[in-house]
Structure 1
Amino acid sequence: MKNNNLILLLLAFCITTFTNGQHRKKNIEEKAPVEIAQSPKLVVGIVVDQMRYDYLTRFWNHYGEGGFKRLVNDGFNCKNNHFNYSPTSTGPGHASVYTGTTPATHGIIGNNWYDKETGEEVYCAGDDSYESVGTTSDAGKMSPHRMITTTITDQLRLHTQQRGKVIAVSLKDRGAVLPGGHTANAAYWFEGGNTGNWITSSFYMDALPQWVNSFNASDEVEAYKKPWNTLKPINTYVESGLDANSYEGVLDGETTNTFPHDLPTIWEANSQFELLRKTPYGNSITADFALAALEGEDLGADTITDFLAISFSSTDYVGHFFGVNSKEVQDTYLRLDQDLARILTVLDEKVGVGEYTVFLTADHAAINVPAYLADQKIPAGYLDMDGMREEFNEFLQYKYGTTDVVKNISNYQIFLDHKILTNLDIDLDDAEEEIAKELLTYEAVNQVYTGHQMWTNEYTEGIPYILQNGYNQKRSGDILFVPRPGFISYGRTGSTHGSPMIYDTHAPLLFYGKGIKQGSTVDRTEIPDIAPTIAALLGIAFPNGTTGKPIGEVLQ
């Protein structure tokens, strides 16, 4: 009996040991390997110039399934995405998207700004130390040298030991130069004028590659010299204002601002190929060239991640000229939707479904035409800058005995002459405060902050937070002023941007493709979050000035 019990115990022990061993083996086999980073063959960064977030929702029912809707439905939509700095303009926008920080750190404080060291106005991408490539004009004398931090594209190049390619394209030079970063293989932009060619700078190369020469020699750009009529019946464009109105510009050679726009007839009056910038055809040309770059540079052809940066600029030109409520803007976005669908289809074919990652955002948004808003009884209007300057000069003459204490007024900033203030024995902080108080008495000025406030305080919300993120200690002015909501310094037709107000800061942010979750969030995200999100996805170092944070909800 004892022997039988012993045998049963031994048998039970063996079974238990075997079972536990099988469980351990199964657990080891079922444990998924840790994926430390995603490796898409290609990252495509898309910046749509002057795109408001509500262009997604306003024109939603007109979009096809393959463009904006595909990115939203199959990707991740950040619905409450904002620029967290001002000025909200193209140069700072592109730099902030790609550096993961703001003008306070990357140094691009405007498209143009007053240089305190030279006493001259400088352009964000201008660089006379380089020559034009592909043209005899000065349009190619560009480089990213004024941007003092790295970009996500730079970090990709560094991480891959320069093996990952970076190509940037845009109608605007700054829309290609700044996203491309300091180490891009190439950045290309559209010359327009009487050539309609794509050009570059000797910063990148000494001669255009054959595929660019072939594109320039083809008839692809000339094919867009055709009338611009609406893509769909104009009576279905109920999401925009009347076609004939007083809030839009009139193209040279036309007598009305209504559809159709006969481009061949007004071609010469509008500097030939320059005219295409103010039409949706400029975006289509950009898409054509981007796809030629995809093919010509073999982007996404191997397992080393490449980067294609595309900026669509015609949306900005059309918005400035016709205004955000125009049928021209609506038609431009419906046609852009088709161009996006075309790009995604080619990416599927050339790179492979699930093998690439895309993000889409804007470089700023825009205000509705203040004249239109005022006619709707909404507080809005225009700054009388000449009248303000005259009144301001009277104040300076009375207070200091000279207007020379001010060196420059631009980008809603005032630059003081520190040497003259010292010679007059006037304390800089006192002068800043006295001038700020004077500006605050002007009807069209809503808020004023001094450089001293920007230096000594740490703002975390509201307008001062946005201003401080745009304030660069070495490059910005001594006094910053903010117009009343709805008020701009601009002509009475068309829309503009640049302010810290929400109509200029609320822009789309969509992620799609490899490593991206499907979903959306209404939590606040900010433009500097884009670069670190892509860096976290790729498992590479953040750009060296990064102040944004990865958006965790986006990543798988």
Structure 2
Amino acid sequence: MPVRRFVAPLLLTLGVLFNSLIAAPKLIVVISIDQFRYDYLTRFGDYYGSGGFHYLLQNGASFSNATYKHAFNITAPGHAVILTGAYGDRNGIATNSWYDPRTNQKVYCVSDSTVSIIGAKGAGRSPANLIVPTFGDELRLHTGFKSKVISISQKDRAAILLGGKMANGVFWLIDSSFVTSTCYMTSLPSWVEKFNASGVVNSYFGKTWETVLPDNAHATMDIDDASYEVSFSTFGRSFPHPIRGDSETHLTQSYYRAVLTSPFGVDFLAQFAKAAIEGEHLGESPSPDLLCVSFSSIDYVGHDFGPHSREILEMAVQTDRILGDFLRYLDARIGLKNTLVVLTSDHGVTPIPEYIRSRHPTADVGRLSHARLHECCNAALAHSFGAPTGKQSWIKQLMDGNIYLDPDVIRAKNLDPDKVATALADSLMNLHEIALALPRQTILSCSSTSGLEAKMKRSFHPKRSGDVLFVLKPFFYIDDGSEGAEHGNPYEHDAHVPLILMGEGIRAGTYATEASPADIGPTLSALLGVEFPAGCEGRVLVEALLLR
């Protein structure tokens, strides 16, 4: 059984030792590429240039066996793991959203009604629901708050959960503007206002996303314009993709979906990252600074077109070029010798079932709709305990692999909640699409450290998770439609991601040892001699640390 956590005194000793033997970086850059499967590095490697992914692979430590060890591979849980080193059972972010029976409300992972958005209209956002600190928080404490932590993304939850609880600035996109909240500051910094006023995000209106690869590069990819790809507005299912939304003459809301579902979304976030470095003077002080950047656009493309589409190949290649330009910028401004770079992803994606069936018609793949799942749950419990009265339902909420029972129905029938949850979990195992369903009491008492049970336990928070948790079989989705791709399962196609570290103190090479993005936080702590984030359960990647 692999060791998941070092004894604290040993970790501190390692941190002091490494820190005394390497020069502290001026800037740490943590890059997350949303929905970037590990095999995008290998499948598309022939089409990458020398300055992006290949540069990191050749000059950094790449862990080819890095997987998330939780059950629900989605955006918020993945980003919460990266710098806390902890899973949802400890950090509180087990899903993107959960149901709160006390308020009878759905809770979004970074919602906070006590703060306000700055720079646009929108609901309050903050890291209040994140229970544990991140590496960035510990870095700030370690340097007496002299280190700066800046986190940016198109998605609020990605930026906020990477940034942690004590960041100097966290910024995300609403339409054409990068915004923040009163959790962090009272007004936008001048450099953010300048970037927003420049109109960069809107500057791609009327442009076209064209292919950059020759036709023969697409030979192993799916056909263009497949019926199971998503078509929205004027974007279409095949190249070239116009970036204008539903109007040829003026900007509408649909434009922002189009620009985000293209390499232009990667481009303007990279520009914003450069503006952050310059505007915040990152890497210019004696204390190391931290910049977190989460690129969301590949996630949008992956959902609409899937991991075997021509669009995802083109997107990866064009992202590689933008990444290469960003690394050259870092080298020119700060020096890569003074920079520690980490690259990973929050999750992968499952192949589109209809794509698999188009090649192998008898494949056991498919989609399970929310409506059918809801119906099956109600029917099973009605069979065991009788139907609820009136318009009531046994099921209060279904979300992200969690089933919340209606406590009013259970009380009205004078039933034991644990007995009802167990009966529901047992009945779900009769559904063809379900791999495993467990009631909360079974999860709470689970002592397994491997397998689906252990992954489900890491995705279970006793105050936020449902009464029953379930996972599907490989190549199945919870989805109400027949187009596009999804993720959220515990298997390698959703869990296997890149993990690359490059910089002073890192031993370059490819490592096949078991690893996880949960190891990034403790490894950075060991490398810089910083306290480990409270609750972290990842390990220090000692095989990649270089003693000089």
Indicate which of 100, 105, 130 corresponds to 1:147. 130
Contact 1:36 1:539 in 2 (8 A): no
C-alpha change, 1:344 and 1:326, in structure 2 (3 Å) is: same
Q: Which amino acid is the alignment partner of residue 269 of structure 2?
A: T
Q: CA 1:353 to 1:394, structure 2 compared with 1: closer, same or farther past 3 Å?
A: closer
**1:190 corresponds to:** 173
Question: Counterparts in 2 of 1:49-198, with a 5 A limit?
Answer: 49-135=34-120, 137-138=121-122, 141-192=124-175, 196-198=176-178
Match of 1:241 among 222, 232, 249: 222
Can you list the C-alpha shifts for 1:496-555, whole angstroms capped at 9, x where unaligned?
101112211111101111211111111111221111011111110111111111111121
Look up the match of 1:505: 495
| Equivalent runs, 1:152-551 vs 2, <5 Å | 152-192=135-175, 196-225=176-205, 226-253=207-234, 256-264=236-244, 266-267=246-247, 268=251, 271-377=254-360, 378-403=363-388, 404-418=393-407, 420-422=409-411, 424-490=413-479, 491-551=481-541
Conservation of the 8 A alpha-carbon contact between 1:84 and 1:527: no
Deviations 1:446-468 (A, max 9, x none): 21112111111211111111111
Residues 34 and 180 (structure 1), Cα distance of their counterparts in 2 relative to 1, 3 Å cut = closer
Could you report, residue by residue, the CA deviation over 1:416-444 in whole angstroms, capped at 9, with x for unpaired residues?
Answer: 34565355342333222211111111222
CA shift in 2, pair 1:445/1:353, >3 Å: closer
- Offset at 1:33? 11
For 1:224 and 1:270, the matched residues in 2 are separated by: 14
Q: Hey, which bits of structure 1, 4+ residues long, moved more than 3 A?
A: 264-270, 402-406, 417-425
Structure 2 unaligned segments of length 5 or more: list them: 1-16
CA distance in 1, matches of 2:23, 2:357: 50
Read off the aligned partner of 2:298 and give its amino acid letter.
T
Alignment check: 8 A CA contact 2:234 2:244 kept: no
Aligned-partner Cα distance in 2 for 1:520–1:366: 23
Structure 2 residue aligned with 1:21: none
Partner of 1:27: none
Q: Aligned pair in 2 of structure 1 residues 270, 201: CA closer, same or farther (>3 Å)?
A: closer
The secondary structure found in structure 1 opposite 2:312 is helix
The whole-number CA distance in structure 2 between the counterparts of 1:242 and 1:372 is 10
Q: Distance in 1 between matches of 2:152 and 2:26?
A: 19
Counting aligned pairs with the same residue, the percent is 36
Once the two structures are superposed, residues 46-91 of structure 1 have per-residue CA deviations (whole angstroms, 9 ceiling, x without a partner) of 0010010000001101101010000001101100000100211101
CA deviation profile, 1:394-423 (whole Å, cap 9, x unmatched): 232232233454332222222234565355
Residue range with higher mean Cα deviation, 439-448 or 421-430? 421-430
Q: 3-state DSSP class of the match of 1:331?
A: helix
Decide which structure has the larger Cα Rg and report it: 1
Aligned 8 A contact 1:59 1:239 in 2: no
> 1:214 and 1:261 mapped to 2: Cα distance?
29
Cα offsets for 1:353-373 (capped at 9, x unmatched): 311101100001000101111
What per-residue deviation string (whole Å, max 9, x for no partner) do you get for residues 150-177 of structure 1? 0111111111111000110101111111
Judge conservation of contact 1:323–1:493 (CA < 8 Å) in 2: no
Cα deviation code 1:100-147 (max 9, x no counterpart): 000000001211111233221011111121111112x115x2100000
Letter paired with 1:251: F
In the alignment, the residues of structure 2 paired with residue 33 and residue 266 of structure 1 have an alpha-carbon distance, to the nearest angstrom, of 55
1:235 Cα deviation after fit:
3.7
- TM-score, normalised to structure 2, is 0.91
Q: Secondary structure at the match of 2:398?
A: strand
Paired residues, what number?
519
Gap runs ≥5 in structure 1: 1-31
CA change 1:110–1:291 in 2 (3 A) is same
How far 1:304 sits from its partner (Å)? 0.7
